[in-house]
């Protein structure tokens, strides 16, 4: 059985991903290359990008050429000769997953009685952030499982496992929808042209990464959804006007995320809600406006003097080991 060029490309990509995972020599170069599409790229996301893309190409070749899988191939083609029915269901599953992740984010804030426009930081055993704009609720499920196995993920890759107890059982939803989106996405490649298969594999991979890490407003998710919308809505013969609706849908996601960022923006001060503070803390590095205590919550307001990233990193050190978690309002303009 002779492997075609797409199947061979899949093998090469999978091998490259395993090489990146097993060594550190390629880390910096890979992160630099993948940053524009993954944003805040880490070695873990880079490995997922190449391995998942490669697996789509390799498995599609196997389904199309292996006699053992010919009954599966016949069922796929009979249900959707051009793969569009499978792509439709794939997009729907991905969007539902994003919606559930967003609702889990809101439920965390509702449970503690704080504004939905806040960043949540779980401190034990390691600081992990999540927000409606960049969500890690589903990542925490896989991170917790990886942490439980021990040694599966290199120590320098952040798993987000400390969020696990705040998001279960609802976050287990990803254990159903992720494989469902993967296999339906794989079937949607079917008999497409080689170039379309590459675009499809790449777009699907970006969406899967966004499902795990970042949510619907993350860069991988927006780019991935844009590609899937394009492949679903563009028809033969091609006309430029067919690009309008995919572009509008992608922009709708982008501007919804930006709208939420602006709606929750507080440039005047940061309001920090600390959960179960167990010891005094040193806030001398901040300009504290006022402090109040409400049952198991301490509310601190500080002036915004630096970027949110630097503020969070300092607060990690201030509250680590002295509180269970905290929420913080954001200042979008601190990044500019």
Give residue-wise pLDDT tens across range 48-78: 999 999 999 999 999 988 888 888 888 888 8
CB 132 within 8 A of CB 106: yes
From first CA to last CA, the distance across the chain in angstroms is 55
CB neighbours of residue 113 within 10 Å: 9
Burial class for 25, CB neighbours closer than 10 Å (0-12, 13-18, 19+)? exposed
Buried b (16+ CB within 10 A) or exposed e, 286-314: beeeeeeeeeebbbbbbebeeebeebbee
Give residue-wise pLDDT tens across range 180-237: 999 999 999 988 889 999 999 999 999 999 999 999 999 999 999 999 999 999 887 7
- Domains recognised in the chain with CATH numbers: 269-335 (3.30.70)
Could you tell me which residue, 146 or 317, shows the higher pLDDT? 317
pTM, two decimals, is 0.92
- Distance of alpha carbon 323 from alpha carbon 281, whole angstroms: 10
Please report the pLDDT score of residue 156 as a whole number: 59
- Distance of alpha carbon 9 from alpha carbon 272, whole angstroms: 49
Distance of CA 101 to the CA centre of its chain: 10
Q: Above 60 in pLDDT, residue 41?
A: no
Q: Rank 93-107, 150-164, 180-194 by mean pLDDT and report only the highest.
A: 93-107
- Work out whether strand 119-122 and strand 269-275 pair parallel, antiparallel, or are unpaired: unpaired
What are φ and ψ of residue 101, in 5° steps? Answer: -60, -40
Which of 99-113, 163-177, 237-251 bottoms out in mean pLDDT, i.e. has the lowest? Answer: 237-251
- Distance of alpha carbon 185 from alpha carbon 62, whole angstroms: 15
List the beta bridge partners of residue 122. 128, 325
Distance of CA 199 to the CA centre of its chain: 19
Please report the pLDDT score of residue 179 as a whole number: 96
ω into 11 cis (within 30 of 0): no
- Work out whether strand 288-294 and strand 325-328 pair parallel, antiparallel, or are unpaired: unpaired
Please report the pLDDT score of residue 131 as a whole number: 96
Please report the pLDDT score of residue 150 as a whole number: 67
| Average of per-residue pLDDT across 274-283 | 92
Please report the pLDDT score of residue 158 as a whole number: 67
Residues across the chain: 336
Please report the pLDDT score of residue 115 as a whole number: 95
Q: How does residue 333 score in pLDDT terms, banded at 50, 70 and 90?
A: confident
Q: Above 60 in pLDDT, residue 323?
A: yes
Which of 4-8, 36-40, 132-136, 279-283 bottoms out in mean pLDDT, i.e. has the lowest? Answer: 36-40
- Distance of alpha carbon 237 from alpha carbon 57, whole angstroms: 25
Strand order in the sheet with 297-303: 128-130, 119-122, 325-328, 269-275, 297-303, 288-294
């Amino acid at each position: 059985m002779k492997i075609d060029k797409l199947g061979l490309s899949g093998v090469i990509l999978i091998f490259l991903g395993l090489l990146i995972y097993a060594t550190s020599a390629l880390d910096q170069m890979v992160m630099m290359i993948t940053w524009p599409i993954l944003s805040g790229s880490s070695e873990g996301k880079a490995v997922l990008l190449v391995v998942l893309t490669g697996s789509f190409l390799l498995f599609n070749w196997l389904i199309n050429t292996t006699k053992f899988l010919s009954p599966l191939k016949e069922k796929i083609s009979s249900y959707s000769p051009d793969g569009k029915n499978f792509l439709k269901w794939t997009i729907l599953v991905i969007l539902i997953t994003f919606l559930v992740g967003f609702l889990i984010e809101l439920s965390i804030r509702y449970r503690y009685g704080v504004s939905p426009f806040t960043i949540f930081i779980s401190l034990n055993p390691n600081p992990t952030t999540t927000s409606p704009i960049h969500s890690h609720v589903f990542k925490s499920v896989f991170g917790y499982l990886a942490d439980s196995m021990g040694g599966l993920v290199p120590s320098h890759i952040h798993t987000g496992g400390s969020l696990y107890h705040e998001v279960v059982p609802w976050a287990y939803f990803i254990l159903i929808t992720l494989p469902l989106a993967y296999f339906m996405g794989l079937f949607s490649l079917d008999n497409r042209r080689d170039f379309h298969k590459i675009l499809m594999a790449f777009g699907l991979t970006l969406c899967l990464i966004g499902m795990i890490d970042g949510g619907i407003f993350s860069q991988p998710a927006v780019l991935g959804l844009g590609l899937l919308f394009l492949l679903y809505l563009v028809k033969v013969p091609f006309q430029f006007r067919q690009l309008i609706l995919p572009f509008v849908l992608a922009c709708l996601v982008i501007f919804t995320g930006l709208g939420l960022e602006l709606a929750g923006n507080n440039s005047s001060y940061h309001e920090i809600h600390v959960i179960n503070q167990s010891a005094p803390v040193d806030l001398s590095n901040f300009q504290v406006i006022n402090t109040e205590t409400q049952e198991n919550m301490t509310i601190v307001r500080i002036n915004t003097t630096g970027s949110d990233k630097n503020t969070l990193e300092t607060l990690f050190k201030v509250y680590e080991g002295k509180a269970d978690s905290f929420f913080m309002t954001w200042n979008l303009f601190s990044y500019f």
